[in-house]
């Protein structure tokens, strides 16, 4: 057995270990798991993914609060012409503040009213996730906003790894048989997804010699995704569970 086969076996074993419903207990994906309507899942998932940096208990706490502000009816809330945003006046999570929250609400409203929803926007370039994320960013920025709010939207044209958006896309696209991801979008194939690269997955990938680039940027995302495609050409991003789990739960650096 050569080196790559050993690594593949290791990763497959970790996917089997970490891609299960127990994973949800400590992960922001539990926020959209509270909903059943497609649009509610999308909006709740996008908000949870947007806030997904820092300590996960705090991410979950703030995303839960956001859902409460929307009366736990995200889709109905943003479509309401008299959208009551008073509760968001003091919303703060790290560098994301109330101005950002109000902008995100208006941007989501614009997407669902004028662009057919999140899936429709992300699916304009279904075979090129970089273009897809870039187009989504353009649409999201159509509504008036402060310049400072743009930092909360990954810019792949400037090399961002777009970890949180890629994670959101994983949630929406990958099939749900293991009880974790949703698989509610069928316009993008799992084979075209990109790895949600962060410090944990990047460190483990480098330890396993799957990634050589030192920066966690879009070039690194492409490099690592291309390596994972060699292990599973139809569903390379399942290995996100393995790399992230080994970094967070096994403390591999």
Output the furthest CA–CA distance in the chain (Å, rounded).
63
What residues contact 203, with CB distance under 8 A and at least 6 apart?
Answer: 247, 252, 253
pLDDT surpasses 80 at 195: yes
Q: Identify the pLDDT of residue 252.
A: 83
Q: Identify the pLDDT of residue 1.
A: 35
User: Helices 199-207 and 218-231, interaxial angle, to 10°?
Assistant: 60
Query: Taking a C-beta distance cutoff of 8 angstroms, is the pair 202, 196 a contact?
Result: no
d(CA 3, CA 231): 12
| 21-25, 67-71, 73-77, 220-224: least confidently modelled range | 21-25
Domain map (residue ranges) of the chain: 3-248
**CA angle 224–9–183, rounded 5-degree value:** 60
pTM for this entry = 0.96
Q: What percent of the chain has pLDDT over 90?
A: 94
d(CA 30, CA 244): 17
């Amino acid at each position: 057995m050569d080196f790559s086969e050993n690594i593949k076996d290791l990763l497959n074993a970790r996917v089997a270990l970490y891609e299960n419903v127990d994973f949800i207990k400590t992960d922001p994906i539990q926020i959209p798991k509270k909903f059943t309507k497609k649009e509610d899942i999308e909006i709740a998932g996008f908000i949870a993914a947007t806030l997904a940096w820092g300590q996960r208990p705090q991410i979950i706490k703030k995303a839960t609060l956001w859902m409460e502000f929307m009366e736990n009816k995200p889709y109905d809330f943003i479509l309401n012409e008299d959208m009551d945003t008073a509760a968001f006046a003091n919303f703060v999570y790290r560098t994301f503040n109330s101005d950002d929250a109000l902008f995100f609400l208006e941007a989501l409203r614009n997407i669902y009213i004028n662009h057919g929803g999140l899936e429709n926007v992300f699916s304009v370039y279904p075979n090129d996730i970089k273009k897809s994320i870039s187009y989504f960013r353009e649409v999201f920025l159509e509504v008036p906003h402060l310049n400072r709010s743009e930092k909360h939207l990954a810019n792949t044209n400037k090399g961002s790894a777009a970890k949180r958006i890629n994670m959101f896309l994983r949630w929406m696209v990958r099939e749900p048989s293991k009880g974790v991801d949703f698989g509610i979008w069928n316009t993008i194939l799992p084979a075209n997804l990109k790895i949600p690269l962060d410090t944990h997955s990047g460190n483990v990938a480098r330890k396993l010699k799957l990634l050589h680039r030192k920066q966690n940027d879009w070039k690194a995302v492409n490099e690592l995704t291309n390596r994972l495609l060699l292990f599973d050409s139809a569903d390379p991003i399942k290995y996100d569970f393995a790399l992230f789990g080994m970094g967070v739960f096994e403390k591999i650096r």
